[in-house]
């Protein structure tokens, strides 16, 4: 341990110590003084009753942060993995018997195994009245160990509202780090308890052994970005006050960089990132990067056009048209913008209107295959089948999809069906996007 702190000295981690990595054991000279249990209200400067008496314990070594939500009773969020965690509860004015619920943000040992230390407390073990909550995708071993001792789990999917210590918290399923990761969101204080999904200055790995996946990670973070988050109570490290949304965004951006295999210090531009993400079909992330670029350089027409193309492919055609009109007002002969606007109108089923834009693009550059195919589709939807089939690029596309459908039916002989005469798309499928 380092030298003894003065009573009025605030606890701070040494710069060399990153408390956010799981499994890190510090050299003795870097081991920080531990502050013990701290008041959430005081540290976060939140005066709401939900945190008035609530405490948290900074995690260390093989244990996560532990949160005690105090109200009508006590709720533990992530009991950690340290047998000493609950020893000081009585010194804080709490009794272990006041603990009625335990929420586990995910099934990693450093977050959940402390529950068994709690359950060993004789009155709790005998009464079996404590409610333990985790995601339904959590480790089966954890569930079996609880059931073997006569306890049961309440399993959530995400979307539920939990009453914890007399206050309502929304459950948000945030897979990625693990398949069973959840966050808890308290709307009135704009606070999220995030487990390892969001950590300050660090990103949790996608643990494949626990069902973690980077694409799922993006999904989970987007669920958080839909909420108004100012404060983060993470699974490791110090809480984040006021700038919680930016912390979520930084995690989101960091996961994108992992997916496109870009190092944090590579100085990749927003547009370079958007292009790489587009290659992987991550359209929402493309829009996000384009928005970041446009915030820096509002006049970047390339960013505007890439954003419009992504919006088109996402079916957000009206938004795309608004952007494309701005581009065409400056560059009326931009064949890509003309084709994209025609595509957007096609997606809105404005077939007649779309043809004008394909014709304008083809008048400038007759070789644009995309404009040819889209024009053929518009004609086909209008019932002008012969005229559509005169366009060689569309005809080739049509025949390819028709052949693919026939091959598919041959593979499933028991499910063969005659093509419906009123099927209007090359594969018989209905579409709003063309």
Please state the pTM of the whole predicted model: 0.84
Min mean pLDDT across 120-124, 311-315, 343-347, 350-354 is at 120-124
Q: Provide the number of structural domains found in the chain.
A: 2
371 CB contacts (<8 Å, ≥6 apart)? Answer: 335, 338, 339, 342, 358, 361, 362
Residue 412: the pLDDT is 62
- Helix and strand counts by DSSP (H, E) for the chain: 16, 12
Is it the case that residue 426 has pLDDT exceeding 50? no
Residue 419 DSSP code: P
**In this structure, is residue 2 part of a structural domain?**
no
Residue 432: the pLDDT is 38
Residue 1: the pLDDT is 32
Confidence of residue 403 (pLDDT cuts 50, 70, 90): low
- Residues spanned by the domain of 288: 270-415
Beta strand 99-103 with 74-77: parallel, antiparallel or unpaired? parallel
What is the C-alpha R_g of the chain? 28
301 lies in the same domain as 185: no
Residue 361 sits in a domain whose CATH number is 1.25.40.10
Tell me the average pLDDT of the chain. Answer: 88
133 lies in the same domain as 184: yes
Which of 231, 227, 169 lies closest to 44, judged by CA? 231
Residue 172 sits in a domain whose CATH number is 3.60.15.10
DSSP 351-385: HHHHHHHHHHHHHH-TT-HHHHHHHHHHHHHTT-H
**In this structure, is residue 428 part of a structural domain?**
no
Digit-coded pLDDT (tens) for 317-370: 999 999 999 999 999 999 999 999 999 999 999 999 999 999 999 999 999 999
Confidence of residue 410 (pLDDT cuts 50, 70, 90): low
Is it the case that residue 285 has pLDDT exceeding 90? yes
Confidence of residue 402 (pLDDT cuts 50, 70, 90): low
Do 343 and 355 form a contact (C-beta atoms < 8 A)?
Answer: no
Token digits of residue 120:
């060993």
If residue 395 lies in a helix (H) or strand (E), which one and from where to where? helix 392-411
More confident residue, 84 or 186: 186
HEC sequence for 134-152: EECCCCHHHHHHHHHCCCC
Min mean pLDDT across 60-64, 145-149, 291-295 is at 60-64
181 lies in the same domain as 98: yes
DSSP 165-224: TTEEEEEEE--SSSTT-EEEEEGGGTEEEEETTSBTTB-----GGGT--HHHHHHHHHHH
Is it the case that residue 215 has pLDDT exceeding 90? yes
Give me the mean pLDDT over the 81-98 stretch: 85
């Amino acid at each position: 341990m380092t030298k003894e702190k003065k009573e009025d000295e605030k606890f701070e981690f040494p710069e060399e110590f990153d408390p956010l990595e799981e499994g890190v054991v510090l050299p003795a000279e870097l081991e920080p003084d531990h502050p013990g249990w701290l008041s959430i209200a005081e540290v976060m400067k939140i005066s709401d009753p939900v945190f008035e008496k609530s405490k948290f314990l900074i995690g260390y070594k093989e244990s996560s942060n532990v949160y005690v939500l105090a109200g009508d009773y006590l709720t533990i969020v992530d009991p950690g993995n340290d047998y000493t965690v609950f020893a000081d509860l009585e010194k804080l004015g709490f009794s272990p018997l006041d603990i009625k619920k335990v929420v586990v943000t995910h099934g990693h040992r450093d977050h959940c195994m402390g529950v068994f230390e709690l359950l060993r407390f004789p009155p709790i073990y005998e009464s079996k009245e404590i409610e333990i909550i985790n995601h339904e995708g959590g480790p089966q071993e954890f569930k079996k160990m609880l059931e073997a001792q006569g306890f049961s789990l309440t399993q959530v999917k995400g979307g539920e509202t939990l009453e914890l210590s007399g206050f309502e918290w929304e459950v948000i399923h945030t897979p990625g780090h693990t398949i069973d990761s959840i966050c808890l969101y308290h709307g009135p204080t704009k606070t999220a308890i995030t487990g390892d999904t969001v950590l300050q200055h660090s990103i949790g790995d996608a643990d494949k052994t626990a069902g973690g996946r980077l694409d799922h990670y993006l999904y989970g973070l987007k669920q958080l970005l839909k909420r108004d988050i100012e404060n983060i109570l993470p699974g490791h490290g110090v809480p984040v006050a006021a700038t919680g949304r930016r912390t979520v965004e930084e995690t989101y951006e960091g996961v994108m960089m992992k997916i496109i295999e870009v190092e944090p210090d590579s100085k990749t531009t927003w547009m370079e990132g958007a292009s790489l993400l587009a290659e992987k079909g991550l359209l929402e992330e493309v829009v996000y990067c384009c928005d970041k670029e446009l915030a820096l350089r509002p006049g970047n027409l390339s960013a505007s056009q890439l954003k419009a193309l992504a919006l088109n492919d996402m079916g957000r055609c009206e938004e795309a048209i608004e952007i494309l009109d701005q581009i065409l007002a400056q560059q009326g002969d931009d064949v890509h913008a003309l084709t994209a606007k025609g595509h957007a109108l096609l997606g809105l089923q404005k077939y007649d209107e779309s043809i004008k834009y394909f014709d304008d693009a083809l008048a400038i550059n007759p070789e644009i295959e995309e404009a040819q195919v889209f024009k053929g589709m518009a004609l086909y939807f209008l019932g002008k089948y012969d005229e559509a089939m005169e366009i060689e690029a569309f005809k080739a596309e049509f025949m390819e999809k028709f052949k693919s459908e026939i091959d598919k039916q041959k593979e499933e002989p028991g499910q063969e069906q005659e093509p419906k005469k009123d099927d209007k798309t090359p594969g018989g499928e209905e579409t709003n996007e063309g």
